[in-house]
Structure 1
């Protein structure tokens, strides 16, 4: 479905140029509609060094908007100051297909007058469903038996430790945006008590609607039976859970992470699992993807997924359509449907 045209400088009558970084997998109709009003430019590069050289050669001159997805990282590497300096001065918008955008250096974009958009609520349902799956699997200690059964050992010998029912347990959210709130609504049906911590507390009406109680960070760590990480990754939140935080938690706590791997210090998590401070973990994200710490791999009390939180056809299509809608709005009116929070006042 990609439409590639010869690169070069556009004449005054030429349609706007959009740099396409990553394939459109599902939103074919929306992409086809876009190609009727813009010129799509696709890089020939397959790695960062070649991409930088191609960009500096003027191949992308005139591009006003860049559409990118998570997989385009393999071509560009981090969307940092080096990449931004190589791209043409005409670039004014980056439309990212995804809720998380830690691959993009937003301050560097802001400094250059480039606005960044993401697809925030498009991922809420699918990611929350993944969180619930990991929570139940880790809490009930299902993971070890998934392997013993396939080895023909039924539950194994000795069998795994007994798991725990969710009813009456305290589920604490670190970060409580759209995904966390969606997950909390689903978790309540399992009888879980909801606590949350975030820098900006919700209104009383919102807390009542969600059945959620605000607590400070240390209280959440100390009182929660299960802790779910649902916050953006930035320099403030990197390793927000590390050795000191694990020591504040209940012995036998369950950790769930569907946010970004680096919000947890993975080495500290492995140590906490080995020491029994953390009884089990349900993880969809890792600090150095696609590499996973061997201590997590070998621990059969860890429910591990290879970053599949949004991996459904419905959600992937929704994300692509949302990001393409951002492209359309940027080209036609110079605005975005969903600018990232750091640039709300830009």
Structure 2
């Protein structure tokens, strides 16, 4: 069975998947079904989050010895290794942040007989068709989905044994998987937003100020390997240097600590001083908070009001309308 979950807003929608030509070999698909960057590394490693990093057995028949090796995030289509979750992981998954302005129309899976991919927002179910882990299977959504996050969760997995060099075998008894995500850019300008520069460092460290520096302010960047951390009450403020049209923010926690609710302030009467918003529900999924209308402001200040796990761990991006300069 397969389910694909995608999300940027907290909606729940069910869509279905079609299996291409009842074959496991991926085919050239027209329209909005271009590879979004798993195989060619356009999607950077920091945007791929996994539930666990499993172990696999390497059996050397020459010496009759067995070693346990740690698998990393080898979840990219056609790469020479596989992602494997821990054998005791009760609900393994891979989550990929695609960035803003993406439409997802399907996935290509490699290395499994059956899998289930899901997210709390859009669920797709299907069954894979191959016992050969080297073959591809393309699963297309009946309706493309506008999203920035997709999660793939394998189930009912098949043990595979693969010769890697003379006399050495790798036996993977868990959910070995590689994948590509299919889709295209969202070219519609209505509701289109773009990052202002926290993740890319176009916003300089000197523009960021914080009430507490337990986690350094320069770590408060979306998908940074570290994070800004503080206890309540606390705030983080980004000086934009001049008036800029702002559409909202993306907020992300870290590990088992995150901001559940926060107040966002701007120097504009359009926001009536400050407004409180729902934020994160876990430590890895980025959540977009979009204002009803863009506001013109010279700063954005985020004040956590409810935090999960004791500390308020925060990474963020600021969003602007696509049409603004």
TM bucket normalised to smaller: under 0.3
Considering fraction of residues, name the structure with more helix.
1
TM normalised by structure 2 equals 0.25
Considering fraction of residues, name the structure with more strand.
2
